[in-house]
Structures are given as C-alpha cells and as structure tokens.
Structure 1
Amino acid sequence: MKTGVIVFPGSNCDRDAAMVTRDLLGLPTRMVWHEESDLSGLDLVIVPGGFSYGDYLRCGAIARFSPAMQAVVQHAERGGLVLGICNGFQVLTEAGLLPGALVRNRDLHFICDRVSLRVERVDLPWTQRYAPQQVITLPIAHGEGCYYADADTLAALEDHQQILFRYCAADGSLTEASNPNGSLGHIAGICNRRGNVLGMMPHPERAADPALGNTDGLKLFEGVLAALSVGV
C-alpha cells in the first residue's frame, strides 16, 4: 500500500498524517506538493488539515483548483481511496467529491478539544476495525466545522448510510451538549456513495501514536491497510 499526502501552502497536519502511515505503519509515503498532478502508484491519498492557501475566500475554496486536487478527483473517480481530514474535508466538499459544506461553528469560536464520536457503519475499509456503534475519542481543532446541507441531501446521506461518524456523548447518545459545532445530524464524517472517499473534521492522525495515550484513530488507518492488502 502506497500513500500520498497532499501539501498545500498553509497545510499544518501533513507531517502528522505522514508520521502515521510512514513511521507507525511502515508504509511508503510520498508528500505531494500542490502543484504536482502525478498520483500514479498511490492507493490512498490524504488531504490533510491546516489552512490551505490561508483559507482565503473560504476554507478549501482555492485548494480545489490546484493541480494536485484535480488529480485527486480523478483518483477518486477511478475508485482510489481518498481521506480528507479537517481542512481536507472542507476541500473535498468544495471539489464536489462530497456533498454539503462546512460553515462557521455554532458559537462562532474556534474549538480545540477532544470529543466523543459514534461509529455508524463498520463495513467499509475506514471503519472495519471498529465495532458497531462504538464510541471513540478524537481531537478536533476548527473554526468552520459545522456540517450543513439541505434537507434532501441530509435525507440522502441517511438513506445511503453515508454518515460514518457522529458527535455524541460518552454513552453514545446524541445530545445538544455533545455536538461541539452545531453540525446538522451530529455529522462528524461522511463518505461518498461508493465509500472510497471519506471526509471528517476530527483528527484520527492525532490519536494514533501510543505515546500520546490514545490510539482510537490508528484503527482507521489499520482498516484501510487491511482492506488494501486483500485487494479491496
């Protein structure tokens, strides 16, 4: 399994993602500069967190036009795996790979915290190492993480089981207090209908190293590795 991590001007989580795939899992990992368009040989492409192009205009609005992202769209259309984390999720919605949008947090504050998430579906590479309805803990760090979509889009996400992670309380219940940014449907992460593109606001790469005391995020990467090793 070969991994590529897109690097935009303003990315600040690209090395964190590479640390997981390269250093913890021992996978060949290539840093892909935003001006590059060659993703040949890559199985998984990660669009990392940060502030791509300074988040000018709006988060992800400029990054979607980069040569690297045009190649990511083609990679996804061929069935390649794409993971967008935080700003990467915002970029994926701007690029049309995922529906909806990420807007200002409900209370208009930047949030840096650890949150509980409920795993909604476990039959995809991203989540196969989790148990159904398992509650995990991952860090968040965003100012525009409130997921928004119109009623028809939300209904389609539910109907096609595209919601993979929801913000929740420690016991798995969905309460207003457990929804840190006001996301509709408590949505923290969604996939496309094919299941090969995942966008999520929480940071699994920041909960992967045992030295940090939490490896809930590592299971996501291990699931992808297991799936690709058997040719899924």
Structure 2
Amino acid sequence: MTARVGVVTFPGSLDDGDAARAVRIAGAEPVRLWHGEAELHGVDAVVLPGGFSYGDYLRCGAIARFAPVMEKIIDAAGAGLPVLGICNGFQILCEAHLLPGALTRNQHLHFRNRDQILRIETTGTAWTNTFQPGQEVLIPVKNGEGCYVADPATLDELEAQGRVVARYVGGNPNGSQRDIAAITNQAGNVVGIMPHPEHAVEALTGPSLDGLGFFTSVLKHLVGTPA
C-alpha cells in the first residue's frame, strides 16, 4: 500500500506545494492538511513546510503552534508519527516543544538564499536513514530567522545523544550555534531542518537531487514500522 504523507498548509505557507511534489516524486501519496482542521486523515507521516505561517507575527511559528491541526500532530508525534519540519516548520516544532531550542534572527541580519553544503551527522532517524554518516549534500537555504540557538546544556545533550542531524559546511549562512542545520528528538521520528530538501529533488529545478533522500528515508522507515 502506498504511504500517505500529510503536508500542512498554514496561512502564509509558501512551500507546501513543493513539499507535496517532493513526497510524490519519492513515491508516496501527498495528503493536503489544513491548519484549521483538527484531523490528520490517517496519514503515515507529516511535513510542516516552509513559509511565513500567520505572517510570522509575534515570533516565527508562535501562532501556528496553536493551530487545531497541531494539537493532533503533537499527540501523534509523541506516539511515534514521523514529522519533518522544514524552515518555518522547524520553527513551529520548536515553538510546540517537539524539539528543543529556538530559531532566531540571522546574526548578520540579512536574508540568506543560496545553495548550501550540509554534512549528515545522524542517519538513525525516520528522515535520514538512506544517507551515510558524514555524507555531504547540497541543499538550498533561504531564511531570515534561521539561527539555531539553545543553552549550553541543551547543545551538549544534543551532541552526546547524536541528535544533531546535519551541520552547515563551507560557511554558516545564519550564525547557528555549532553550525547546526537540523536536529531530531530523542525517538528520532521528529526532525527539524532549516534548509529546504524539497527544493533539491529534481534535476530541472534543484542544485542537486540530494534532498530526495529525506523523503525516501521516511518511506523506508514506514516499511520497517509495524502496523
């Protein structure tokens, strides 16, 4: 049976269509989920896409965290549902306390839009199991508030538990502490990533096909997950 991956649309989402396309290219069925509906429609995984949910008023992701659909996602993630938050989705995951830390204004106070090399540090997650440890991938980054910060104890804990999923290589585009580009929760089913893997899934439009691995990884994970 084809896996069904939900893609949430919030007011201000920009990359929900791209995320749905990436899911389809990976071989799954994308299911569009609406922010105002507290229903996941039986999906096997969820993607929180990039953009500016609710206009990024208050803080990025601060309002989206209270959307009706997030109530269901928070509960389901706690029960093991794979959830990937991309850019604004990463910010929402932090605001929802599904991931630690926060994403703040880029240190240089400029928006960054460029192709970025990442090093995959952790392959034991639902979203990175098709990569090799230390593999370098080329993924676009585009953010104004992508600087990952956390207190020293949290950063040390992430390092010690192997929960830093990816780091920036060849220059840090936003000043993120310890060059962190992506992290995971303890269970490995929730991943937040600031760069945009959904924009690196086709030769025609992406700088590489490296982003596809995030979406094929969750399909591999779901095959190995008992019903």
* TM-score category (smaller protein): over 0.9
| Greater mean deviation of Cα atoms: 25-34 or 46-55 | 25-34
Partners of 1:54 and 1:82 lie apart in 2 by 22
Distance in 2 of aligned mates of 1:142 and 1:164? 19
> Which residue is 2:200 aligned to?
207
**Match in the other structure for 1:187:** 180
| Runs of at least 5 residues in structure 1 that lack an aligned partner in the other structure | 170-177
> Which secondary structure does the structure 2 equivalent of 1:211 belong to?
coil
| Cα distance per residue 1:174-208 (max 9 Å; x no partner) | xxxx1111100100000001110000000000001
Q: How far, CA to CA, are the matches of 1:109 and 1:121 in structure 2?
A: 29
Code of the residue aligned with 1:16 in structure 2: it is: D
Contact (CA 8 Å) 1:50, 1:87: kept in 2 or not?
yes
- Aligned pairs for 1:24-103 (under 5 A) are 24-103=25-104
1:173 corresponding residue in structure 2: none
State the 1:57 CA deviation.
0.7
Which residue in 1 is equivalent to 2:17? Answer: 15
Aligned to 2:144: 143
* TM superposition shift of 1:106: 1.0
CA contact (8 A) 2:62 2:95 kept: yes
Gaps of 5+ in 2: none
Measure how far apart 1:125 and its partner are.
2.8
Instruction: Work out the percentage of aligned pairs sharing the same amino acid.
Output: 50
Retained in 2: the 8 A contact 1:204–1:218?
A: yes
Contact 2:124 2:188 in 1 (8 A): no
Name the residue aligned to 2:221.
227
SS of equivalent to 2:204: helix
1:109-120 matches, within 5 Å, as 109-120=110-121
Give the CA RMSD over aligned residues: 1.1
Per-residue deviation, 1:224: 1.1
Cα distance in 1 for residues equivalent to 2:71 and 2:36: 10
With normalisation by structure 1, the TM-score equals 0.93
Once the 2 structures are TM-superposed, how far is the Cα of residue 150 of structure 1 from its aligned partner? 0.4
In structure 2, distance between residues paired with 1:125 and 1:199: 12
From 8, 21, 25, the counterpart of 1:6: 8
Alpha-carbon distance between aligned partners in 2 of 1:20 and 1:201, rounded to the nearest angstrom: 16
The equivalent residue for 1:166 is 167
